[in-house]
Amino acid sequence: MRQLLAGTDPDKIAVPAATLEKSSLAKQRSLIEESVGPTGYAAIRAWGKMALGASVLILLSALQRSVRRKKKKGQILSYDDLIMSGGSETPAKGRVGSVLTLVLSCFFTLVYLAWRVCFSVPTGAGVPAVAANVLLLGVEVLGFAESLILFHGLFRMRAHPLPEIPEDAWPEVDVFIATYNEPVELLRRTVNGCTHLRYPDPAKVHIWVCDDKRRPEMRRLAEEMGVGYFDRPDNKGAKAGKGDKLFLYTDGVPEATDAENELFGTARMIDALNTCADRSPEELLACVKSAVDVFVGEAEQFDDLTMLCLEYKGVFPN
């Protein structure tokens, strides 16, 4: 108005910037900023960079995995390696689709985590808000790492070949259900589950209820469900006491043979154990080993002798 009163040519008067018509790009930017705010608009503009970073990380991971597989090729480090070396790996159905789904999931999750780190932490809202946000971010990162571990295990699953066993070669199986004071109905469900175990020859599956409390209702339950039942007259020695020892061994110990092909046997092994019962686990093992060596002499053995002795030291103090 002042310029008009001063006689300035109206065409030469500058129009205020607020009245200038915006370009279509500027209008879109204003609309987006009004919708998501300046921080949201900055995140949208950084989408390309975040996507590029996620893609680079995925490609580097794939490259590292490929290099590791090439270095590992031909090495037998696990049962999976042994199976795969024989060419018996069975490709999983839909594996390509699963891998593609995993890659896309990792891509979008990495983009999301990049947004969380760069644009979602409320740095101007005070220490409590930032600390809570960072804690939640850490949980999200751990969740992503856990999912990667899970998928790594799933993708390593192999269709391992099973041995072919003749029908008459399946071994007998005994299932022992130990009980002391559990409710009858709980034992009924347990026995019912055991009776429905899948086995090539169900007649070779024997189920036994081991009742430490000698309850008549347990005996009736076993008879009702057609399973075995046994108890013992008392509970003496039922639990390990301080100084008691547990001796574990493979069948190579009692089946050690002398020059006349006579077995060392369980009786001789028990005698050796009783002779050294008061000694330390190390001395007890040495005692049994010495008894076996004296018995077999120079006779060649065809099985391993593996023994383990554990001693109960009592309850740890609180």
Return averaged pLDDT per consecutive 10 residues of the chain, 318 residues in all: 66 58 69 76 86 93 86 69 55 69 91 91 88 93 91 74 81 91 94 93 92 92 94 74 87 91 92 91 94 92 90 69
Tell whether 144 and 46 lie within a shared domain.
yes
Domain count, the chain: 3
What whole-number distance in Å separates Cα of residue 183 and Cα of residue 175?
19
Let me know if residue 10 belongs to a domain.
no
Contacts of 12 (CB under 8 A, 6+ apart): none
Residue that has been written with the tokens 């009776």 in this structure: 195
Let me know if residue 19 belongs to a domain.
no
Let me know if residue 190 belongs to a domain.
yes
Let me know if residue 197 belongs to a domain.
yes
Tell whether 146 and 212 lie within a shared domain.
no
Which of these three, 198, 230, 262, is where a domain ends?
Answer: 230
Q: What is the pLDDT of residue 90?
A: 44
Tell whether 292 and 200 lie within a shared domain.
no
Q: What is the pLDDT of residue 144?
A: 92
* pTM for this prediction: 0.44
- Return the structure tokens found at 66: 């490929």
Tell whether 78 and 128 lie within a shared domain.
yes
Q: What is the pLDDT of residue 89?
A: 46
Q: What is the pLDDT of residue 181?
A: 87
Residue that has been written with the tokens 């043979």 in this structure: 257
Kindly calculate the radius of gyration of the chain based on its CA atoms and give it in whole angstroms.
37
Q: What is the pLDDT of residues 226-261, one digit of tens each?
A: 999 988 887 776 666 778 889 999 999 999 999 898
Let me know if residue 41 belongs to a domain.
yes
Q: For the chain, what's the residue count?
A: 318
Tell whether 137 and 178 lie within a shared domain.
no
- Return the structure tokens found at 154: 């799933």
Contacts of 306 (CB under 8 A, 6+ apart): 249, 250, 252, 253
CB atoms within 10 A of CB 187: 20
Q: What is the pLDDT of residues 167-182, one digit of tens each?
A: 888 888 999 999 988 9
Let me know if residue 304 belongs to a domain.
yes
Going from the C-alpha of 17 to that of each of 21, 22, 38, 220, the distances in angstroms are 9, 10, 21, 96
- Return the structure tokens found at 29: 């930017």
The candidate with the shortest Cα–Cα distance to 214, out of 228, 233, 227, is: 233
Tell whether 76 and 138 lie within a shared domain.
yes
Which of these three, 155, 184, 202, is where a domain ends?
Answer: 155
Tell whether 269 and 219 lie within a shared domain.
no
Let me know if residue 11 belongs to a domain.
no
| Containing structural domain, residue 187 | 171-230
Tell whether 101 and 223 lie within a shared domain.
no
Which of these three, 155, 188, 221, is where a domain ends?
Answer: 155
- Return the structure tokens found at 8: 């300035």
Tell whether 93 and 49 lie within a shared domain.
yes
Going from the C-alpha of 272 to that of each of 114, 165, 298, 301, the distances in angstroms are 68, 38, 20, 20
Let me know if residue 195 belongs to a domain.
yes
Tell whether 150 and 208 lie within a shared domain.
no
Tell whether 250 and 225 lie within a shared domain.
no
What whole-number distance in Å separates Cα of residue 142 and Cα of residue 137?
9
- Return the structure tokens found at 311: 């001693």
Tell whether 31 and 148 lie within a shared domain.
yes
- Let me know: does 170 contact 139? Beta carbons within 8 Å: no
Report residue 89 CA to chain centroid gap: 22
